[in-house]
Structure 1
């Protein structure tokens, strides 16, 4: 597979967004679990820094951290409204990255076919 900067960034973004979707699902599944702290996936800042510094974006890995947001009486801090919005945002970002990847491969197919 071709590993130019764009392809590498898109691949890392898809990996991070997929991880975020899994964490959101886990958060929602544990909404009533006492002492459960919501997970948050972070990768965008590290990816941006890698691109800005000219280092390999492929080395960036998503990190899962526990939310420090206030908890309810049972020690759980999962907020269904936040999780729902985060899910929608992540889904849109994932679809955008897929379209970018599809466009990139579409251009490559066009070049391979001789511009036809």
Structure 2
């Protein structure tokens, strides 16, 4: 475990999820008038299970080197195949997408605030505390 007990890595995963969700919402909004476009969404459970399954490993060139393992980027994106919102077959509900966009922005800002707080704590420790 790291200095903060894995908090930074959890926040990093949360930020990756928020970025994937932001990208998906932006694609939906951009395709609001595209005929037969099906709205996409990002499921946190899917995102998390994909992250647990996918790892990348590297070969050690020296026995004294530490094992290397990191997670590959995952999407967790799915679409609503049978959902149709408008007559042209488009499945994007603009009101819902804008609400999702606002919710995701709040989530992202909260995560960034927590990361900033952890970094400030680390900076205080490095400087030797407040004097």
- Shared fold (TM-score, shorter chain, > 0.5): yes
After TM superposition, the score normalised by the length of structure 1 is 0.80
Rounded Cα–Cα distance in structure 2 between residues aligned with 1:32 and 1:24? 14
Q: Which runs of 4+ in 1 moved over 6 A?
A: none
Structure 1 spans left out of the alignment, 5+ residues: 51-57
Rounded Cα–Cα distance in structure 2 between residues aligned with 1:44 and 1:106? 31
CA RMSD of aligned residues (A): 2.4
After TM superposition, the score normalised by the length of structure 2 is 0.71
Q: Kindly name which structure, 1 or 2, has the bigger radius of gyration based on alpha carbons.
A: 2
Structure with a larger share of its residues in helix: 1
**Bigger mean CA offset, 88-97 vs 7-16:** 7-16
Partner of 1:21: 22
Q: How many residues align?
A: 107
Secondary structure of the structure 1 residue equivalent to 2:38: coil
Structure 2 spans left out of the alignment, 5+ residues: 52-69
